[in-house]
Structure 1
Amino acid sequence: MTLQPIMPLWAIAAVFTPIVGLLVYLIIIVYRHDRRKWTWLRRLFLVVLTVISTLGVSVPGKTYATGNSLLDVYFLFDQSYSAKALDYDGGKERLEGMRHDVKAVANSLVGADFNLILFDSVASAPLPKTSDISALETVLNTTVIRQTESTISAPIQLTEQMLRRDYEKKPHRGRIVFYFGDGEQTADKPVESFERLKPFISGGAILGYGTESGGKMHDKYWGTKLQIREFIPDNTAKDSFPLPDAISKINETNLRNIGKQVGLQYFHRTKPDKISDITKKIEITKVIERSTDSDYYDSLTWLIAPFMIVLSAIDVWTFYTSGVNVKKLREVNDEESTI
């Protein structure tokens, strides 16, 4: 048994101590003269029951896990053209595996708030923070893959801004980051370090897609009347004619470095295995700074309520009958005065 007071104990004491004291004083007075002592005892008992109800006498009830509702999840999703490379799960596009895994992670963390950050040479957040998984899936399914350079560190600045904003608003929430990409840097610029994200991250994973042998990428007009060639050309092979097909290869060194910089484990994804093998390694209870469980208590006020109702009804009836008696007495006095 425990107490779950509806107001601070000092407030309960401040409100009810004078009332109880006054009733006790009145009972002592009327007891000496034997007048209406049971009425005042009944009222004292009603006040005591009211005090007990405000103290919230309860017994422990069920415990409900609410950890996911205290999570902010950030999906960093590589939408550069290499996502269309055909070396995932026996010749499918990497994009298919990346979409599958984002959805699987989201479904394993139902109740969390999701943030989607798309990047190629620049980064964007096309979806406001949401716990609606269907909205997340809709954006992923309609993602446009642009034929542009790939900068694997493009999402750093935007992600840091979002992480910092959420940390400053609600520091008690857990923040986990999932990076989906192939680690291939095609832009002629140095790769920036992800280390500045580490202070804000509580967990997550780096997920890599592609193979060492690599895969070709269908031309954006492939399968249409505008098709010129089946696969995009390798524009770096300027001495070759015709240009050979471009090959995109996974760069696991870059992906592992990202993992080391932010303190997250790297996983190579070659087929749609169960994502639970990855999410299970993220101990949500350690990610969130406060308890992930909500303890509920069953109040015992319902046991007291019938007595309070009966005592209140008796008092109401007493006041009513007293008023009727006073009225009758006045009528009698008026009749006598007219005689």
Structure 2
Amino acid sequence: MIFQPVLNPLLIALLCAPVAVVAIWVLVRPRKSAGVPTTDRRALAGHRALWALRLLLVLACFAMLMRPGIPGGATQTLANDTDIVLVVDTTASIVAEDWGDDEPRLDGIREDVRALVDEYPGARFALITSDAAAELRMPLTTDTTALMGSLEVLRPEVTSQSRGSSIGIAAPLLSETLASAAESSPDRSRMVFYFGDGEQTADTPPESFASSAKYTDSGAVFGYGTAGGGPMRITTGGISEQDGGYIQYQGADALSVIDESNLEAIADQLGVEYAHRTADAAPVLPEAPSMTTDYADSGEVGNVIELYWVAALAALAILGVELARAALLIARLRRLRAPRRRVGSRNREDSRPRH
């Protein structure tokens, strides 16, 4: 038997012991002081049975707080020997509203990353964002909750600070991240996924991702946007996504248009496939590299089979008995308090003279 108390055992004992002592004292005290006629043995037996149930309730609560269990349980875990680096374009154009029903492109990226997490359970994920500069937002980790949380709060660069950006600005940081992962874990495979619209607004040619190809076993480049383009809202760095109006160009809403040739060039440099993403189709994801451990052969972690639920069921049953008894006593008390009129008194009232 193994115990995993939710509180210090001494504190649990101090909470339960006084109530248990009172219940035991009521059970063992003499009949005359029990408040029940000594001649009514049935009532006395019922009285003691009630307090025995209350003592059992205290013991059940004590058992629940001590959290008993037995060793021998096991939890199946996933061991995926894959590192996945996500590169997300966070320039102003990533919120252009041409995804689905005029939603921001960033919403589509979030949906696709969620599909990635479901497709490669147990993998380690890293997140890199790129706008005017590249930043490693989250190093390699298996905490996918943190990954999705980072994407939910992700916002594009402030519009007033935008001075043009290169779609390849994250290339050096990506190569560095992959090289570090390959050095620390050479037996793990590596995948790269690039998310963007391919718009090059800097005056210089985009940097090449070719230096990352030797570390990349698989992955994909996903393109977002349409040929017709979508308007972009002004971002001010506030909490709300509806901070201002739309970016203007020559008296009209500026439109961001996807550049698939640039995205295809990035895919060629990384040695992966390119795919144009739309809201009406799920992403086609590559199979995990051959170096990935088979999910079915993952290890098992020792665990404890919890038994506190047995005590919880006992406590629930006793509370049900107490509630039923209380309901009966209330009903009986209401009947005793109901007014009763005698026939004679009613006749006397009727015979009184009326004025």
TM-score calculated relative to the size of structure 2: 0.57
Q: Which amino acid aligns with 1:181?
A: G
1:91 aligns with 2:116: no
For 2:168 and 2:254, how far apart are their aligned partners in 1?
22
Matched residue, 2:223: 208
- Give the stretch that moved more between structures: 174-183 or 95-104: 95-104
CA contact (8 A) 1:100 1:272 kept: no
Q: How does 1:245-324 map to 2 (within 5 A)?
A: 245-271=253-279, 273-275=281-283, 278-279=284-285, 282-286=286-290, 288=291, 294=297
- For 1:193-242, what per-residue CA distance to the aligned partner results, in whole angstroms no more than 9, with x for missing partners? 111110000000000000011011122269999x99721123xxxxx4xx
Equivalent residue for 2:145? 134
Question: Contact 2:91–2:131 (CA<8 Å) still a contact in 1?
Answer: yes
TM-score by length of 1: 0.59
Q: Quote the offset at 1:178 in angstroms.
A: 0.4
Q: Say whether residues 1:75 and 2:86 are aligned partners.
A: yes
Q: 1:145/1:206 Cα in 2 relative to 1: closer, same or farther (>3 Å)?
A: same
- Which residue matches 1:179? 194
Query: Where do residues 24-173 of structure 1 align in structure 2 (5 Å cutoff)?
Result: 69-146=80-157, 147=159, 148=162, 149-173=164-188
| Structure 1 residue 119, shift from structure 2 partner | 0.7
> Residue type matched to 1:254 in 2?
N
* Contact 2:80–2:293 under 8 Å retained in 1: no
Aligned partners of 2:82 and 2:292 also within 8 Å = no
Q: How many residues matched?
A: 219
Distance 1:172 1:229 in 2: 49
Q: Tell me: CA distance 1:171–1:228, structure 2 relative to 1, closer, same or farther (3 Å).
A: closer
Query: Residues 71, 295 of structure 1: CA spacing in aligned structure 2 closer, same or farther, 3 A cutoff?
Result: closer
Q: Distance in 1 between matches of 2:243 and 2:181?
A: 47
- Contact between 1:195 and 1:262, CA under 8 Å: does it hold in 2? yes
Cα gap change, 1:233/1:205 in structure 2, threshold over 3 Å: closer, same or farther? same
Identity level (%): 35
Aligned AA (2:288): I
Distance 2:129 2:95 in 1: 15
Task: Let me know the Cα RMSD of the aligned residues.
Answer: 2.8
- SS of the residue corresponding to residue 175 of structure 1 reads strand
- How far is the alpha carbon of 1:295 from its aligned partner? 8.4
- Runs of 4 or more consecutive aligned structure 1 residues displaced over 4 Å after TM superposition: 221-225, 289-293
Deviates more, 1:213-222 or 1:119-128: 213-222
- Cα distance in 2 between the residues matched to 1:295 and 1:214: 46
* Counterpart pick for 1:244 among 246, 252, 258: 252
CA distance in 1, matches of 2:268, 2:175: 17
Partner of 2:341: none
- Alpha-carbon separation, structure 2, partners of 1:230 and 1:295: 51
Task: Answer whether contact 1:121 1:187 (CA < 8 A) is retained.
Answer: no
Aligned-partner residue type, residue 203 of structure 2: D
Q: Separation in 2 of the partners of 1:166 and 1:195?
A: 17
Deviations 1:82-107 (A, max 9, x none): 01101111311101101111121112
Q: What SS does the corresponding residue of 1:69 show, helix, strand or coil?
A: coil
Provide the secondary structure at the position in 2 that maps to 1:210: coil
Any gaps of 5 or more consecutive residues in structure 2? 1-75, 300-355
> Unaligned stretches of 5+ in structure 1?
1-63, 235-239, 297-339
